[in-house]
Amino acid sequence: MQTIYERIPSTRYELLRLREFEADLRAGFDILKNKEEILLKEFFDAAKDVHEKRDILDSNIKRAYTALVKAQGVHGVLGTKYLAASVLPCAPPVIETRKIAGISIPSVKHTQEKRNVFCRGYAPASSSLELEAAASLFETTLSDAIQIGEKEACTEKLGNEVLKARRRSRALKKEILPEVLREKQHIKESLDMRSRETFVRTKKIKAMTSS
């Protein structure tokens, strides 16, 4: 099987080229490790945020459904459904991207609307304190769920990019860089051997010409 150094001429030019290539590889390895560290920090920050917000979301969901049951006790199940069907939709979230270490990460902008009985779409006279409490809690829950969705998408993207950077840095360190170093060593040995052969040949020629 033909190796890499058998395909490249053993010349001083190739040795200089490989030295430059080695320097580029080492610089690239440092960049990848730095990128991995930045992404890993962002990953753990986002994962921690997801964990904290999920606890809040679970608590708000329980409170919202408790308030909904109370509203259904006042308006009845069908009456509550009828009023809910009259509610105006919330403003949709705006999905953008932001850059972290050159990686595009999804970013969702959503403004939680503080609506009252006059802004929800149904007649204020048909509402109640129980219904308004349930509506307010569900609107808060929606905002929390959107934020958690953004963070979960962020952690998934960051996790994949961390693994990708780690695989690339490992390939540089374990495969590409050792092969380049072996190539350099082979060319050095070949040049040294040629230098010794040239020295011996020169001595023989001098001996022959002097005799």
Which of these, 175, 189, 183, lies nearest to 14 by C-alpha position? Answer: 183
Provide the pLDDT for residue 191.
Answer: 85
Among residues 40, 108, 123, the alpha carbon closest in space to that of 75 is found at 123
Q: Cα(24)–Cα(143) distance, rounded to whole angstroms?
A: 47
Q: What is the pLDDT of residue 6?
A: 52
* pTM metric for this prediction: 0.68
Tokens 């199940």 belong to residue: 77
| Per-residue pLDDT at 194 | 83
pLDDT (0 to 100) of residue 5: 45
pLDDT of residue 15: 85
CATH number of this structure's domain 4-203, picked from the four choices 1.10.287.3240, 1.10.238.10, 3.40.50.1970, 3.30.70.890: 1.10.287.3240
Q: Give me the average pLDDT of each 10-residue run along the chain (211 residues).
A: 57 86 91 91 88 86 91 88 81 81 80 73 81 86 86 89 91 90 87 81 76 61
3 and 162 Cβ atoms separated by less than 8 Å: no
